[in-house]
Structure 1
Amino acid sequence: MLALAGCVGAPDGADGDAPSAALADLVISGGTIYDGTGREAFVGDVAITDGRIVSVGPEATGRRTVDATGLAVAPGFINTHSWATESLIEDPRGMSDLKQGVTTEVFGEGWSMGPLTADMRASERRAQADIKFDIPWTTLGDYLTHMEERGTGLNVASFVGASTVRMHVLGEDDVNPDAAQLQEMQALVRQAMNEGALGVGSALIYAPGNYADTAELTALASAAAACDGRYISHIRSEGSGILPALDELIAISRGSGAPGIVYHLKQSGRSNWDKQAAVLERIEEARASGLDISATMYNYPASSTGLEAAMPLWVQEGGDEAWIARLQEPGVRERVAEEMRDPAGFAEGDNRLIEAGGGKGVLLVNFRNPDLRHLQGKTLEEVAAMRRQPVEETAIDLVVEDKSRVGVVYFLMSEENVTRQVSLPWMSFGSDAGAPATEPPFTNTGTHPRAYGNIARLLGKYVREEQALPLTQAVHQLTGFAARQMGFSDRGTLTPGLAADVTIFDPQTIGDRATFATPHQYSVGVRDVFVNGTAVLRGGEPTGETPGQFVKGAGAGRCPA
Structure 2
Amino acid sequence: MSRDLLLTGGLVVDGTGAEPRRADVLVRNGRVAAVGAVVADVDKRDVTGRVVCPGFVDIHTHSDLTLLSDPRALSKVHQGVTTEVVGNCGLGAAPPGPDPGGLRGAVSYLDLDPAVTWPWHDLDGYLGAVERARPGVNVAALVGHLPLHAAVCGLSDRPASTVDLDRMTGLLRDALDAGAVGLSTGLVYAPLPYVREEELVALARVTASTGKLFAWHLRNYDDGLVESAAQAVRVARETGCRTQISHLQAVGPRNWGGVRRVLDLVDAANAEGCDIGVDVYPYLHGNAPLAQLLPAWAQAGGQAVWMPLLRDPVVRNRVRAEWTDRESRWDEITVGWTARAAPDPEIGRSVAELAAERGTTGGEVVLDILAELGMGVMMTAGGRSEVDLLAALAHPASVVASDGLALDPDGVTGAGLPHPRSYGTFPRYLSRYGDDDLADAVRRCTSAPAARVGLDDRGVLRAGARADVVVFDPATFTDTATFTAPHRFAAGIDLVLVNGVSTVDGGRHTGARAGTVERRF
Shorter-chain TM-score tier: over 0.9
Paired with 1:252 and 1:137, the residues of 2 have a C-alpha distance of: 32
Partner of 1:219, secondary structure, is helix
Aligned pairs for 1:406-485 (under 5 A) are 406-464=377-435, 467=436, 470-485=437-452
Seen in structure 2, the aligned counterparts of structure 1 residues 483 and 394 have a Cα distance that, compared at 3 Å, is same
CA contact (8 A) 2:93 2:104 kept: no
* Higher alpha-carbon deviation: 511-520 or 258-267: 511-520
Is this contact kept in 1: 2:260–2:388, CA < 8 A? no
Paired residue for 1:48?
27
Contact kept? 2:103, 2:147, Cα under 8 Å: no
**Aligned equivalent of 1:502:** 469
Residue 68 in structure 1 maps to residue 39 in structure 2 = no
Query: Which of 68, 77, 82 in structure 2 is aligned with 1:89?
Result: 68
Q: Does 2:211 match 1:228? A: yes
Equivalenced residue count is 515
Contact 1:459 1:507 in 2 (8 A): no
Report the more deviating stretch, 449-458 or 87-96.
Answer: 87-96
Contact 2:60–2:246 under 8 Å retained in 1? yes
2:323 aligned with 1:340? yes
Give 1:284's aligned amino acid.
Answer: D
Give the aligned partner of residue 404 of structure 1: 375
Matched ranges for 1:137-536 at <5 A: 137-341=120-324, 343=325, 353=326, 357-370=328-341, 373-464=344-435, 467=436, 470-536=437-503
Asked whether the 8 Å contact 1:121–1:135 carries over to 2, the reply is: no
Residues 256 and 105 (structure 1), Cα distance of their counterparts in 2 relative to 1, 3 Å cut: same
Moved more, 406-415 or 326-335: 326-335
Q: Structure 1 residue runs of 4+, over 3 Å off?
A: 125-131
The Cα shift of 1:460 comes to 1.2
Do the aligned partners of 1:372 and 1:402 also contact (CA within 8 Å) in 2?
Answer: no
Taking only the aligned residue pairs, the percentage that are identical comes to 32
Deviation string, structure 1 residues 264-299 (Cα, Å, up to 9, x no partner)? 001111001122332221111111111111111111
- Residue in structure 2 matched with residue 17 of structure 1 by the alignment: none
Aligned in 2, Cα 1:498/1:241: closer, same or farther, shift over 3 Å? Answer: same
CA–CA distance in 2 between the matches of 1:450 and 1:213?
32
1:26-48 residue CA offsets vs partner (Å, 9 max, x unmatched): 22222111111101011112222
Q: 1:158 to 1:188 in 2, by over 3 A?
A: same
How far is the alpha carbon of 1:443 from its aligned partner? 3.5
Contact 1:199 1:221 in 2 (8 A): no
Matched, 1:111 2:94: no
Residue type matched to 1:316 in 2? Q
Aligned to 1:26: 5
Q: Distance in 2 between matches of 1:326 and 1:319?
A: 11
> In the alignment, is the contact (CA less than 8 A) between 1:131 and 1:441 conserved in 2?
no
For residues 259 and 404 of structure 2, what CA distance do their matches in structure 1 show? 24
Is the 2:215–2:246 contact (alpha carbons within 8 Å) kept by the matching residues of 1?
Answer: yes
TM value normalised by structure 1: 0.88
Q: CA RMSD in A?
A: 1.8
Question: Within 2, Cα distance between the matches of 1:49 and 1:212?
Answer: 49
Letter in 1 for 2:518: V
Change in Cα spacing, 1:125 to 1:384, as seen in structure 2 (3 Å) is closer
SS in 2 for 1:159: strand
Distance change in 2, residues 1:31/1:333 (3 Å): same
How far residue 404 of structure 1 moved from its aligned partner, in angstroms, is 2.9
- Take 1:498 and 1:459, find their aligned partners in 2: how far apart are those partners? 23
**In 1: Cα distance, 2:343 partner to 2:372 partner:** 8
Aligned to 1:347: none
Q: Quick check: 1:25–1:62 contact (8 Å CA) kept in 2? A: no
Give, in whole Å, the separation in 2 of the partners of 1:458 and 1:306.
25
State which drifts further: 70-79 or 141-150: 141-150
| Letter aligned with residue 229 of structure 2 | L
2:104 maps to: 124
Q: How far did 1:121 drift?
A: 5.0
Q: Confirm or deny: 8 A CA contact 2:8 2:25 kept in the other structure.
A: yes
Q: Which runs of 5+ in 2 are unaligned?
A: none
**CA pair 403-274 structure 1, distance change in 2 beyond 3 A:** closer
On the 8 A contact 1:86/1:131 being kept in 2, the answer is: no
Look up the match of 1:20.
none
Other-structure match for 1:9? none
Give the corresponding residue for 2:18. Answer: 39
TM-score by length of 2: 0.95
* Contact 2:11–2:20, Cα closer than 8 Å, also in 1: yes
Cα distance in 2, alignment partners of residues 270 and 190 from structure 1: 41
